[in-house]
Amino acid sequence: MVNNTDILNALAKIVEEVTGLDPAQVTAGKSFIEDLDIDSLSMVEITVALEDSFAVTIPDDRSAELKTVGDTVSYIANHR
């Protein structure tokens, strides 16, 4: 069974692959745009990678609402 820590670790690895950021910077309280300075194109890549990794669909309108790492982890935990 996958827990929130597993999801967070996978998300941090995806962020590193897409943006080159240190995975240690990807914590639940961080905002993708304000704190991690991730642009919209990179967010699309991250979203697609998350969908593939966790067999979950994140609709575009819902994706725009996932502002923080924690929001995203919770969404995946609740929709897989």
Catalytic residue among 6, 39, 52, 61, which? 39
SS (H, E, C) 22-74: CHHHCCCCCECCCCCCCCHHHHHHHHHHHHHHHCCCCCHHHHCCCCEHHHHHH
Annotated active-site residue 39? The verdict is yes
Catalytic residue set: 39
